[in-house]
Amino acid sequence: MNGTNPGTRRYYIWSIGCQMNDADTARAAEALERMGFSRVADPRQADVLLLNTCVVRQSAEDRVRGHLASLKSVKRRRPDAFLAVMGCFVHDAAQLQRAYPYVDLFLRPSDVEGFVEAVRARMDSGEALLPPPPAPVSVYVPIIYGCDHFCTYCIVRLRRGRERSRPVEEIVGEVEDWVRRGAREVTLLGQNVDAYGRDLPGRPDLADLLEAVHGVENLWRIRFLTSHPADMTDRIIEAVARLPKVCEHFELPIQSGDDAVLKRMVRGYTVARYRDLVRRIRETVPGVSLATDVIVGFPGETEQQFLNTYRLLEEIRFDVVHVAAYSPRPGTAAARLPDDVPPEEKHRRLRMVEELQERISWEINAQLVGKVVEVLVEGRRQGRWFGRTRTNKLVFFQSPENWMGRLAQVHVAHAGPWSLSGEVTDGLTADPAESAEKTGHH
Ligand code: SAM
Ligand code: SF4
Ligand code: F3S
């Protein structure tokens, strides 16, 4: 790669996993583009290859190993290409290096800086960076790395380490930078975003951070995820209610609706406490939408315990439920328990939750038919503009105008479980927070 002409440098990125990985991948891609690289879909054409990995379930790890194996022949033919592997797959780098000798560099999760430095070190030094490309309408900004919880099924905390919060000023500076480049919405990211700040001097919390980010001019919307039920506070809920730019949406994984299972998962709350939290959120933030995560088939989960989860989902009626079948992960406490719910049974429970939730999401979305929703337009897909409501619902509409990065008032004509569609009635390009009332019209 040394001495390659900036005009002909190519990079390839393969990325799976959560929003944190998406954020890291986007940052790595941008850094490469500023060094003059252009993206290719075929790894055989690339001078730099990055795999950003996930191991949250065995199926994710299998995909990582499969993809890594397929790059062996690519590296054999192009030994001068630079292959880096980052993310939660990377634990014991020395051991991985022995298993995959053709990989040039293993990097811990979120070590984008380490990746960029390594690429720069291999290029001609002293080259000026290209100006940054325009920003997407909606961007992810990590605010806290790692996790201090002890959920017994979870490998994330083993791979991402202890909680580390970024200082408020650093985050605000990054948001200002994104907005200067054209972004209008930020999503503040962390494994437990509501634990933000406990490790910082003066202990600012997520409410303080929301307030600080809210002051960024020309920023229209603020989102945050994922929230841990045991870390959520009234202060944060009130900040969401009070601050006009903060969207009425919480991602609040419940994992199980049975106290005995929650206890074995070491989630740190009971069903009663979760229910009370949902009540407080719904009372304080009118029109709020709620998403959650559920694991079915955790070790020892009986039919009755599963049905407790099922009934709780019927009762709470989340807008979105991400459901996963339990997968034992090496090194976790639950991996020492017998994985005693058979695969077919896990699958049956998974399907039951999916079918229930499809119906509920559909019913909730159907209530929006005939109403006008405000959509921040993020792009075009198959001839239609798309974007999200403040409550995080995906909306499509057709229009000959250029709606990119604008707020569209969309009259909803159709609703499905996963998206809405309709016709645009009016547009706004000014800062909506100046005039709009906080809630009520969503
Ligand atoms: N910190 C967040 C939380 O507390 O839920 C997100 C953690 S993880 C990146 C995202 C989701 O993956 C979890 O909410 C959980 O439902 C699922 N998950 C984690 N470990 C799992 C496992 N061993 N088997 C199945 N699903 C798992
Ligand atoms: Fe994993 Fe639990 Fe931490 Fe979420 S809170 S990352 S599920 S240990
Ligand atoms: Fe996967 Fe790591 Fe995210 S295991 S889900 S990439 S935190």
Alpha carbon of 165 to ligand 2 centroid (Å): 16
Q: Is the pLDDT of residue 248 over 70?
A: yes
Reported as a single tens digit per residue, the pLDDT across 308-325 is: 999 999 999 999 999 999
Average pLDDT over the chain reads: 94
- What pLDDT was estimated at residue 437? 45
- What pLDDT was estimated at residue 145? 97
- What pLDDT was estimated at residue 442? 36
- What pLDDT was estimated at residue 430? 46
Alpha carbon of 183 to ligand 1 centroid (Å): 29
**Spatial CA neighbour of 152 closest among 383, 378, 331:** 331
pTM of the model: 0.94
Q: Which residue owns the Cα nearest ligand 2 atom 2?
A: 151
Q: Which residue owns the Cα nearest ligand 3 atom 1?
A: 54
Alpha carbon of 107 to ligand 1 centroid (Å): 22
- Residues whose beta carbon lies within 6 Å of some atom of ligand 2: 147, 149, 151, 154, 156-157, 191-192, 228
Q: Is the pLDDT of residue 425 over 70?
A: yes
Q: Could you check whether the bond before residue 233 is cis, i.e. omega within 30 degrees of 0?
A: no
Strand, coil or helix: what is 374?
Answer: strand
**Domains and their CATH numbers in the chain:** 6-122 (3.40.50.12160), 138-366 (3.80.30.20), 372-438 (2.40.50.140)
DSSP 8-class letter at 135: P
Which atom in ligand 1 lies closest to the alpha carbon of residue 255?
A: 16
- What pLDDT was estimated at residue 133? 87
DSSP conformation letters of 395-428:
EEE--SS--TT-EEEEEEEEE-SS-EEEEEEEEE
Alpha carbon of 18 to ligand 3 centroid (Å): 5
Reported as a single tens digit per residue, the pLDDT across 24-67 is: 999 999 999 999 999 999 999 999 999 999 999 999 999 999 99
Mean pLDDT on 334-362: 98
